[in-house]
Structure 1
Amino acid sequence: MSKFSNNTQAMLFGLGAVLLWSTVATAFSISLKYFSPTQLLLVANIVSLIFLTTLIALKGETKQLISFAKQSWKSSLFFGAINPFLYYLILLQAYNMLPAQEAQAINYTWAIMLSFMAVPILKQRIKSADYIAAAACYFGVLYISTRGQIASLEFSNVTGVAFALLSTIIWALYWLLNTKDKRPSLIGLTLNFAFALPLITIFAGVTGELNHWNNDGLWGAIYIGLFEMGLSFVLWNRALKLTTNASQVANLIFLSPLLSIIWLSQFAGEPILRSTLIGLACILVGLFIQNWAKRKKQ
């Protein structure tokens, strides 16, 4: 790829990550027909850990990984408990209860949640654009959750929506706390998955989900572990390192939910709901306002 400029390479890597992320909702939807959320997370975590440790070995950083595992095991256990353990467990519960198109649309409001949670954690100030963006995003969530019946406030699945919104809080918290993490990004992520594995295994054992496996869900779980939790992170990280305009790469993320709905309708047999399209449009407008305000400030 040397014949391409760094910015062009960055856009290609970023686009690759976004394309992979756009297929994840479909993989979740199909895999959850055969696996419970806990079983799906356990297999995906193992696959992702194998991928990440192999990548570190190929880079010749195994000794560094072991060193950080000894030095920062408390941090690794703490971050691993948040992500992947708690975050994906709750997110997959949302996907298990809601149509995947609704769960993934609501999950995209995590960036708005991050702005508000940054006030007490990082002592940042809320701007007027953040309030406008939040209003647009959460109106979209309300529209999706009620299937367009806002006046009657008849929610399609209150528990599923609550899980989806809770996942945005956990994900935002993870990234805010991650700003204080001193470990190298790839090594830190690998250690998170390594220390989360016993937690997920114990949880699966306590809930009786180490028994009764349906092998039809295996390939979907492997796909999620390899691409959602592994390769996409590497591609996105590479894109951000190569680019001289991070916001340009970040804007690619707007493609993901739109592509995701198409894949869901084509491969998971999910009819596209009008309420999802309208609600998602509101969420994307909110995220655009937030990103535009940040770029203007910079």
Structure 2
Amino acid sequence: MNNRRKALLFGLATVAIWSTVASAFKIALRTLDPLQLLLVACGVSILALTAILAARGKLGEITRMGRKETLRCAGLGAINPFLYYVILFQAYDLLPAQEAQPINYTWAVTLSLLSVPLLGQKLSLRDLGAILLSYFGVVVISTHGNLLGMEFSSLKGVGLALGSTVIWALYWIFNTRSKAHPMAGLLLSFLTGFPLILAATLLFSELPPLEPAPLLSATYVGLFEMGITFALWLTAMKYAAQPDGGGTARVANLIFLSPFLSLVFIHFLVGETIHPATVAGLAFIIGGNLLMQYGPQKR
């Protein structure tokens, strides 16, 4: 099997798994509150990342980080997993999955907006058009297509979903200059974020019940949202970057399959009836992302 096919298979596996996590969030939130879900999921992801690094002989990368990189990765733990997932899970708790999931895909647009003041980048008219197109999609989804009535399932939930994109974009901007091993850096961030999650759970909630159903659903989130898929995606990009790998852009574009496939899982696993406005709004969001991605190469 050549590198092109390996890259495609690992990329498709990642996208397939990512497409299930929105459903997993909603199922887990039936028996756990957002903090309880995050506590278990973060703990599981720490174990998964540690095992993957150990199996690859890369666990020592954590101790080989310089002081600056160690502090950077540790500090980022307050953003991801702590702030990002607290806000994201709260949004999923308030919104139908078919609304929260597409809105979360506007993070790339948010990243472009924040790159202007934080990285000194400039936006073209094409970029501005792409941003407006994506956020128009958010309005279509949030109002179920009733643009004149402007009635939302949960205005707070929409605000939190959009807020999560700001947190996620900030995480990537602050992480742009990191020279740490990607998985080692992520593990260190999760190790420093876990005590914050535990403290917040003890202060504002309670420890999750030791029952099979909630623990299994949270374990799935920890493994496949925060842990294993990260390793699969890095592997796909590694193969794609090889001379016969076909290029990373080819694999990266597979991610646009995920939100539409996710709606299928949301319908059959969560039981939500998918509104036509959700599909239309998601098309606007993905269209905006594509328009921005294939604009002038100045980033």
Describe the shift of the 1:230–1:294 C-alpha distance in structure 2 as closer, same or farther (beyond 3 A). farther
Matching residue within 255, 261, 269 for 2:257: 255
Stretch of structure 1 that moved more, 66-75 or 225-234: 66-75
Paired with 2:14 and 2:68, the residues of 1 have a C-alpha distance of 31
The 3-state SS of whatever aligns with 1:293 is: coil
Paired with 1:19 and 1:82, the residues of 2 have a C-alpha distance of 26
Describe the shift of the 1:211–1:286 C-alpha distance in structure 2 as closer, same or farther (beyond 3 A). closer
Q: How many pairs were matched up?
A: 294
Paired with 2:145 and 2:85, the residues of 1 have a C-alpha distance of 28
The 3-state SS of whatever aligns with 2:226 is: helix
The 3-state SS of whatever aligns with 2:132 is: helix
Stretch of structure 1 that moved more, 203-212 or 90-99: 203-212
Alignment check: 8 A CA contact 1:35 1:213 kept: no
Give the TM-score normalised by structure 2: 0.93
- What is the CA RMSD across the aligned residues, in angstroms? 1.7
**Superposed CA offset, 1:180-235 (max 9, x none):** 22211110011111111111001101113226565421111111111111111111
Stretch of structure 1 that moved more, 53-62 or 267-276: 53-62
Matching residue within 18, 29, 32 for 1:32: 29
Identity %: 46
The 3-state SS of whatever aligns with 1:8 is: helix
Aligned to 1:168: 165
Give the TM-score normalised by structure 1: 0.94
5+ residue gaps, structure 1: none
- The CA deviation at 1:57 is 1.4
Stretch of structure 1 that moved more, 89-98 or 180-189: 180-189
Aligned to 1:92: 89
Paired with 2:185 and 2:235, the residues of 1 have a C-alpha distance of 16
* Residue identity opposite 1:35 in structure 2: L
**Superposed CA offset, 1:227-246 (max 9, x none):** 11111111111111221422
Aligned to 2:126: 129
The 3-state SS of whatever aligns with 1:288 is: helix
Describe the shift of the 1:69–1:223 C-alpha distance in structure 2 as closer, same or farther (beyond 3 A). farther
The 3-state SS of whatever aligns with 2:63 is: helix
Describe the shift of the 1:72–1:250 C-alpha distance in structure 2 as closer, same or farther (beyond 3 A). closer
Alignment check: 8 A CA contact 1:34 1:214 kept: no
Aligned to 1:50: 47
**Superposed CA offset, 1:158-186 (max 9, x none):** 00000000000010111111102221111
* Residue identity opposite 2:124 in structure 1: K
Q: What are the equivalent positions in structure 2 for 1:123-272 lying under 5 Å apart?
A: 123-210=120-207, 212=209, 215-244=212-241, 245-272=247-274
